[in-house]
Structure 1
């Protein structure tokens, strides 16, 4: 009888260990995905600010052209 109880306890502990290992793998996978998302957000931020810089440069050039052609309202 005591042997049956010991086997039942061991079986439950093995199940808990397996569940714990699965949760650990899932957490590690989630951490990798979050790191990847962080890198993508960083790249998008860089692209947005680079695009804004290009737009600002085009705006300055257009203003200069309008002034030279005397099209600007000063």
Structure 2
């Protein structure tokens, strides 16, 4: 092959390698962000479950209070 053609091919391959390295770095960053997002969502779901439990306990106590005060229909 002509030396200019070989150099041109090598130049393109180097550019492609650099682009692929940047894409790999971007993918790594996206994975880290997705992991953080999943952890945050799990925390929110856990808090929501806890809040549902608290609300259920409050409803039970309110029903008992209403029964004691004869406020039930």
TM-score when scaled to structure 2? 0.94
TM normalised by structure 1 equals 0.92
CA RMSD of aligned residues (A): 1.1
Unaligned regions of 5+ residues in structure 2, if any?
none
1:9-28 matches, cutoff 5 A = 9-28=9-28
Runs of 4+ in 1 over 2 A off after TM superposition: none
Greater relative contact order, per chain length (Cα 8 Å cut-off, separation 6+):
1
For residues 6 and 12 of structure 2, the distance between their equivalents in structure 1, rounded to whole angstroms, comes to 10
> Shift of residue 3 of structure 1?
1.2
- Counterpart for residue 5 of structure 1: 5
Moved more, 1-10 or 28-37: 1-10
**Alignment size in residue pairs:** 73
After TM superposition, the structure 1 = structure 2 runs for residues 39-58 of structure 1, keeping only pairs within 5 Å, are 39-58=39-58
SS of residue in 1 equivalent to 2:15: helix
Unmatched runs of 5 consecutive residues or more in structure 1: none
